[in-house]
Amino acid sequence: MILDLKQVFIGEKKSMPVDCTLDISQLEYQNNHPFIDPVRVKGEVSAESGIVRLKATVYFAYQCACDRCLDAVKRQMQIPIEHVLVTSLSGDDDGELKQVKHFKLVLDDLVSEDLIISVPSKNLCRDDCRGLCPNCGINLNTQSCACQSNKIDNRFKILEQLKQSDLQ
């Protein structure tokens, strides 16, 4: 979606409401397409003291696989976004200002960037997820297995021998 912000930039309007849905289902993140449902953006673009600012909240459903047990995870989330908008940049761009060419803001790109920065990098179905058994692969949240949990990696057997010699 492209927002035409000319009236806000030239001072004809002090603010402009933003309430739209965006389809960013093609956005790939961590080898997944986590934004299957439309993303809703609600807020406003306002001009005050010569500064044009976008303030909004993004509402979305985030879908992924749990990093420990691989179960499907779907969470309703919302994030606040805020950007200072300018029509031209002078000097070095430090990333704080968002350039709006020809008074038109491409909202899809801006929201996509904000979503990628804001979603969790570690995805768990729940805080106490036990994950998968490293031996048999069973989901330890739903079943238990008979695998030995006290197996020692061959590379660490020497440490076990040292421990035994200290006890004697």
Residue 156 placed within a domain? yes
Looking at per-residue confidence, does 132 or 151 come out higher? 132
Task: Report the alpha-carbon distance of residue 30 to residue 115 in Å, rounded.
Answer: 13
Check residue 17 and give its pLDDT: 96
* % of the chain at pLDDT higher than 90: 60
**Domain count of the chain?**
2
CA-based radius of gyration for the chain: 25
Domain with 136 in it: 130-168
Residue 15 placed within a domain? yes
Mean pLDDT throughout 61-69? 94
Residue 125 placed within a domain? no
If one counts every other C-beta atom within 10 angstroms of the C-beta of residue 33, the result is 13
Q: Are 73 and 146 within one domain? A: no
Check residue 32 and give its pLDDT: 87
Q: Are 69 and 111 within one domain? A: yes
Beta strands 72-86 and 97-99: pairing type? Answer: parallel
Mean pLDDT throughout 99-114? 92
Q: Are 113 and 136 within one domain? A: no
Local confidence band at 91 (pLDDT 50, 70, 90 cut-offs): low
Residue 92 has pLDDT above 70, yes or no: no
Residue 123 placed within a domain? no
Round the average pLDDT of the chain to a whole number and report it: 89
Task: Report the alpha-carbon distance of residue 40 to residue 106 in Å, rounded.
Answer: 15
Check residue 95 and give its pLDDT: 67
Mean pLDDT throughout 38-52? 93
If one counts every other C-beta atom within 10 angstroms of the C-beta of residue 157, the result is 10
